[in-house]
Amino acid sequence: MQNVLLAISGPSGVGKGTLVKLLMEEDENLALSVSCTTRAPREGEVDGREYFFISKQEFLSRISEDDFLEYDEHFGNYYGTPRSFVERRLKEKSVVLEIDVVGALNAKRLMPQTVLVMIVPPDMEELEDRLCGRGSESACERSERLRRVRYELAQQDKYDYVVVNDDLQTAKKRLQEIIQTERNKG
Ligand code: ADP
Ligand code: 5GP
């Protein structure tokens, strides 16, 4: 069995965070890559758990030190995957990157073994409901995020797997099957 590097993408509000949390709880051989971001923490988010919350100045200095496997800018903030963390953890466990489509495709270019999984909503109405239900963005930020959804969903054919997050437990089981299949390839 091999350790796999899995990039899980999908539109904001589709349920990535919820699914990844369930996967982590049930599989001790899975580690979540904690990204760095320059955005402010949302209520309940803890530094070093959801993200490492760093200043723009520190982010730019780490870019110049080639410290990110990939990075991107979303909604005026930087987000990046720390290279050293991923390489170190992959020696012990399978690693999940929870990143956007552009970031995932960039990661695959640098680490071709990356398995790309896209989570998609059952329909657009449900996605909008979930995003509004989370209540962490203003109406303006939400509409910006929804505009991006169509672009992200259009990248599905570049992905190794597409998982519909309709029923949460069914989507979680499908992700567990995918991880098992990829581990067995080694
Ligand atoms: P993301 O990380 O993709 O932005 P979240 O995991 O924060 O999305 O989920 C957005 C909202 O949708 C949350 O309130 C979450 O509880 C809810 N949610 C996630 N998956 C489902 C599902 N299968 N059915 C109904 N609600 C869901
Ligand atoms: P949020 O602010 O909702 O946590 O995340 C906003 C967007 O940033 C999401 O699409 C999320 O997938 C993306 N993101 C989170 N971490 C990273 C990362 O390390 N790299 C890239 N490229 N995108 C990220």
pLDDT tens for 71-95 read: 989 889 999 999 888 999 999 999 9
Ligand 2 atom with the shortest distance to the CA of 80: 19
Q: The domain containing residue 93 runs over which residues? A: 5-184
Please, which pLDDT band fits residue 117 given cuts at 50, 70 and 90?
Answer: very high
Give the dihedral of Cα atoms 104, 161, 143, 141; nearest 10 deg.
-40
Phi, psi of 154 (to 5 degrees): -70, -10
Closest CA to 35 of 76, 86, 102: 86
Q: How many Å lie between the centroid of ligand 2 and the Cα of residue 45?
A: 14
Reading the block at residue 13, the tokens are 């509000």
Counted domains in the chain: 1
Ligand 2 atom with the shortest distance to the CA of 68: 19
Say yes or no: CB of residue 134 within 6 Å of ligand 1.
yes
* CATH number of the CATH domain containing 35: 3.40.50.300
CA distance 25 to 40: 26
Residue nearest to atom 20 of ligand 2 (CA): 80
pLDDT tens for 130-166 read: 877 766 666 656 677 777 888 888 999 999 999 999 9
- pTM score: 0.85
